[in-house]
Amino acid sequence: MTKDIYNPQEIEARWQKRWEDTALYRSEVDTSRPKHYAVTMLPYPSGNLHIGHWYAMSPPDARARFMRMRGYNVLFPMGFDAFGLPAENAAIKNNVHPKKWTYSNIDTMRRQMKSMGTMFDWEREAISADPEYYKWTQWFFIQFFKKGLAYKKLAAVDFCPHCNTTLAREQVWGEDRHCERCGTPVIKKELDQWFFKITDYAEELLDFSSIEWPERVVTMQTNWIGRSEGAKVVFKTESGHEIPIFTTRPDTLWGATFMVMAPEHPLVDVITSPEQPAAVEVYVAQASRLSDIDRESAEREKTGVFSGGYAINPVNGERIPIWIADYVLITYGTGAIMAVPAHDERDFAFARKYSLEIRPVIVPEGQTMDGATMEEAWPHEGIMVNSGPFNGTQATSDKGMKNPAICAVVEWLEEKGIGERHTNYRLRDWLISRQRYWGAPIPMVSCEQCGIVPVPDDQLPVLLPDDVEFMPTGESPLKLHPTWKNVACPQCGGAAERETDTLDTFMCSSWYQYRYLSPHYDSYPFDPEEASYWLPVDHYSGGIEHATMHLLYTRFFTKAMRDCGIFDNVKPMDTTNQPASIFSEPMTRLFNQGIILGEDGDKMSKSKGNVVDPDDLVAEYGADVVRTYLMFAFEWDQGGPWRKKDIKGPVRFLRDVWNLIVEPLPEPSGDPAGTAPEEAIRVLRRKVHQTIQKVTTDLENFSFNTAIAALMELKNTMQDFRNSPVAHTEAWNESVRSLVLMMAPFTPHIAEELWARTGNEYSVHQQAWPVADPKIAAADFIELVVQVNGKVRDKIVVPADVTEETAKAKALANEKVQAALNGGVPKQVIYVPGRLVNVVV
Ligand code: ANZ
Ligand code: ZN
């Protein structure tokens, strides 16, 4: 008889087909069961699945399977974020149409995902470049427009001269401000652009109280939104022009000895005195070449130029010079500041360089300070001095209105009508126009008579034409199409033109979790019945690189949808299927996995030649081994370098499990009754139940590696037991069954095969997760070392609370001790509780 060896390729293909034929992973609304909606970030169809995709997808797949076995009705869908620049770049390079390129990549990647053995419900697949999908992307745009959340304005935008397109702030990377995709340094360009008013939601986006997201992401989003409390105060020029400023330190108003305007400030020309124009012009031109990051850098030496103009400090009527300097940004606050060199480091450096007055107005209690001799700014607490009505007021180091001095001054400013309390955010509105072809057309029409008019719902989607010249020209390719943009105005019927920009693909991915619910539903973005049951997403996972873009956009999107009434027909349920209030957050829990690096510890990339191809690995070892390796060799949130040699561990593990279960049990021997010694059974059962406990909590906490380690230990214990002469017991069957069930989430194919081979009915993936009996798990047995004359002879298992008498008796009865004694009588038996029994002869 040929040995029945583990053949993953045969097993995996066979079961994948069976799962598909029987629609095993189809998830349907079932209000009799609690739901679990798990989503892992959808990929961009870049060509092939790389190992990073496997790392992002197979652990959540294991978790979703686990939740299913625990009785949840699990929805775990997948789709493709199919619009975007790489398709166009690839098309330009290889002269294939972006659509063809994208959809053929999708076919490949879908096939690869199936080879991974995932439980994705493919009937829910959503592809953002499908007209039935982007119809709704466009519809959302119109809803937001009608709600006043979408607007158009002329804006200086970052432009990549290589990709020939505008970029969002987040697509500009690094100190040198290069394009996220191609690395070319970006330049500025003025264009008429569409924006979403995400800033209207700045305050609400800072509230994370209803979600459990990693602290790191919460901090990154909080910093990104960048809330600062303070005041807006209006300074006036001598000629009466108003220059509002934003300050977080209104308590230092009396220490303002000059003002600074950003070089781009609209009043620069007005304020510049006739004696200064040339110097100012040169300086402004210089500044425009620098990035905001350079300009904000604390290390860079401050530069500036005097405008020749003066302003009046509204709190004390003092005349102060107005300077122009690039350390003030036009994009923050009001683009102009009052400079308080005694208390702000940047202003201090600037004042020293240009010999401007430094006047302390907040002095540590009991001290004096002299602006002329100060070595650095004093940004801390103290007593207000030189501050008119506020002399003697205590200023703490608190920020915002918690600081009594700031609070008092703001009240006074408001009373006097000079200024008002103001909260400023670093967050900018979301630029969503792209001068690119491969995206959803912005569904707007511009008519000379009627202005900008949305495309009526019954004319959606505005289809993206196939026949365009997508070679980059710096203009939207749709603009160059001979007929596409010509359209009758939806309002007056006159000749009008379509918007030729397309939507940022971050918009497509802001709502895909809703489209999965009913990807072919054509009267609404989602089927309200599905939405009522499944929403919100219970668990979301993806890379940390999305912390401030995608993850902020999708939160905004959900809130904007709520405010547009789009969820009004959704009647959400809580975890016990009771009516719940409408959600304001798209995803309740979030987990960020780490990154798999190349063997060399560098990021995997084709140019470095350190890319690991999952298809090769599947061909060599089978998907279950690759899944096990990825879940076992790394902490999921950490990732780390690929180590090909370490894949041997998982290979051995699955082979051992296979042999353990498939090979016939040895004939009972030794004990005539065929029962193992009580202790051996107890040890096995305890291990089984402890493993159930451990794997259950580990899977709850996404600790895949420790869960698999526990399964490996169980396997070892089972091997020991099986090799004992007495394996034919209920305990053995229980251990086999438990091991197979617990392996099902991690290694779905081999588990299914072993499940069938041990005489069970299809499918292991529809079984209940094993439940640990805490009494059995807790049954405390310990191992005692048995020595003869100090030499280890054996180990015995005894109850933890064993008496000295019993321990000694058991040790003496041990076969090996008997053999060593060889009929002799021990001189002495020493018992060290919990450790050993030493028989001295
Ligand atoms: C006077 C002052 C005195 C300030 C003081 C600070 C300390 P955050 O906390 O980041 O919001 N500022 C305002 N607009 C600016 C701009 N467009 N470019 C550069 N700097 C700008 O910073 C707020 C502070 O940054 C504001 O408060 C302002 O300087 C400066 F002892 O006003 B402050
Ligand atoms: Zn019109």
- Ligand index nearest the alpha carbon of residue 340: 1
Instruction: Answer yes or no: is pLDDT of 472 > 70.
Output: no
| Interval between CA 338 and ligand 1 midpoint (Å) | 8
**Ligand number nearest to the C-alpha of 494:** 2
CA dihedral 686, 691, 693, 694 (to 10 degrees): 140
The two tokens of residue 338 are: 């009052």
**Beta carbons of 76 and 60 less than 8 angstroms apart:** yes
Q: Whose CA is nearest to atom 21 of ligand 1?
A: 328
Confidence check: pLDDT of 675 > 50: no
User: Which of 715-720's residues contact partners 24+ apart within 8 Å by CB, and which partners?
Assistant: 715/653, 715/656, 715/657, 715/660, 715/739, 717/683, 717/684, 717/687, 718/660, 718/684, 718/687, 719/656, 719/660
Whether 332 lines ligand 1, by a CB cut-off of 6 Å, is yes
Band the pLDDT of 297: cuts 50, 70, 90. confident
Q: What is the CA radius of gyration of the chain?
A: 35
Enter the pTM of the model: 0.87
Ligand 1 atom nearest 332 alpha carbon: 17
Mean pLDDT of 311-318: 97
Between 837 and 778, the more confident residue is: 837
Rounded average pLDDT over 774-785? 82
Q: Which of 458, 447, 461 is nearest to 498 (CA)?
A: 447
Which of ligand 1's atoms lies nearest the C-alpha of 331?
17
Token pair 């790489």 in the structure block, residue: 86
Instruction: Let me know the angle formed at the C-alpha of 410 by 406 and 415, rounded to the nearest 5 degrees.
Output: 150
Contact (Cβ atoms closer than 8 angstroms) between residue 476 and residue 437: yes
Ligand 1 neighbourhood includes 337 CB (under 6 angstroms) = yes
Q: Whose CA is nearest to atom 28 of ligand 1?
A: 247
pLDDT of the residue at 649: 96
Tell me if 325 CB under 6 Å of ligand 1: no
Q: How far is residue 407's CA from residue 412's CA, in Å, rounded to a whole number? A: 9
If one counts every other C-beta atom within 10 angstroms of the C-beta of residue 550, the result is 19
Q: Residue 193 pLDDT > 80, yes or no?
A: yes
Q: Are 497 and 446 in contact (CB under 8 A)?
A: yes
Residue 698 Cβ contacting ligand 1 at under 6 Å = no
Categorize the per-residue pLDDT at 625 as very low, low, confident or very high, splitting at 50, 70 and 90.
very high
* Digit-coded pLDDT (tens) for 732-749: 999 999 999 999 999 999
DSSP-derived letter for residue 603 is B
- Residue 172 corresponds to which amino acid? V
Question: CB of 147 within 8 A of CB of 197?
Answer: no
Query: Is the pLDDT confidence value at 290 over 90?
Result: no
What is the C-alpha separation between 324 and 262, in angstroms, rounded? Answer: 6
Cβ of 508 less than 6 Å from ligand 1:
no
- Identify which of 422, 228, 270, 242 has the alpha carbon closest to the alpha carbon of residue 336: 242
Q: CA–CA separation, 484 vs 498, rounded Å?
A: 8
Is the model's pLDDT at 670 over the cut of 60? no
Token pair 């972006």 in the structure block, residue: 98
DSSP state of 806: H
Q: Is the CB of 328 under 6 A from ligand 1?
A: yes
Query: DSSP letters of 256-314?
Result: --EEEE-TT-TTHHHHS-TTSHHHHHHHHHHHTTS-HHHHH-SSSPP-EEEEEEEEE-T
pLDDT tens readout for residues 389-408: 999 999 999 999 999 999 99
Residue 180: pLDDT band by 50, 70, 90 thresholds?
Answer: confident
pLDDT of amino acid 821: 86
Nearest CA to ligand 1 atom 33: 247
Can you tell me the distance from the alpha carbon of 350 to that of 841, in angstroms, rounded to the nearest whole number?
90
Give the pLDDT confidence score for residue 725 in this predicted structure.
Answer: 66
What is the 247 CA–ligand 1 centroid distance (Å)? 5
Is residue 228 within 6 Å of ligand 1 at its C-beta?
yes
pLDDT of 676 above 60: no
- d(CA 502, ligand 2 centre) in Å: 21
Pairing of strands 382-384, 394-395: antiparallel
Centre of ligand 2 from the C-alpha of residue 497, in Å: 10
**Could you tell me the distance, in angstroms and rounded to a whole number, from the CA of residue 232 to the centre of ligand 2?**
41
- Which pLDDT tens digit goes with each residue over 581-593? 889 999 999 999 9
- Nearest ligand 1 atom to the CA of 377 is 31
CA–CA separation, 780 and 778 (whole Å): 6
* pLDDT value of residue 630: 97
Q: Measured from the CB, is residue 349 less than 6 Å from ligand 1?
A: no
Closest to 786 in 3D by CA, of 759, 802, 809:
809
Please indicate whether residue 258, judged by its CB atom, sits closer than 6 Å to ligand 1: no
For the Cβ of 244 lying below 6 angstroms from any atom of ligand 1, the answer is no
Determine the atom of ligand 1 nearest the C-alpha atom of 399: 9
For residue 458, give both structure tokens: 């019954």
Q: Give the pLDDT confidence score for residue 643 in this predicted structure.
A: 93
The mean pLDDT value of the chain amounts to 92
- Report the distance separating Cα 372 and Cα 388, nearest Å: 21
3-class DSSP assignment, residue 126: strand
pLDDT, tens only, 741-772 = 999 999 999 999 999 999 999 999 999 999 99
Say if residue 672's pLDDT is above 50.
no
AA identity, residue 225: I
Between the CA of 446 and the centroid of ligand 2 the distance, in Å, is 7
Task: Read off the pLDDT of each residue in 156-164 and give the average, rounded to a whole number.
Answer: 81
Ligand 1 centroid, distance to 593 Cα (angstroms): 37
Verify whether ligand 1 is closer than 6 Å to residue 405 (CB atom): no
pLDDT tops 70 at residue 668:
no
Pairing outcome for strands 178-179 and 172-173? antiparallel
Q: How many CB atoms lie within 10 A of CB 291?
A: 17
Q: What is the mean pLDDT of residues 295-309?
A: 90
- Closest ligand to Cα 348: 1
Q: Ligand 1 within 6 A of 86 CB?
A: no
Indicate left, alpha or beta for 660 from its phi (over 0: left) and psi (-120 to 50: alpha). Answer: alpha
Return the closest-CA partner of residue 708 out of 742, 683, 661. Answer: 742
220-277 pLDDT, tens digit per residue, is 999 999 999 999 999 999 889 999 999 999 999 999 999 999 999 999 999 998 888 8
User: What residue type is assigned to position 477 of the chain?
Assistant: P
Q: Which of 227, 293, 330, 344 to mutate to test the pocket of ligand 1 (most atoms within 8 A of CB)?
A: 344
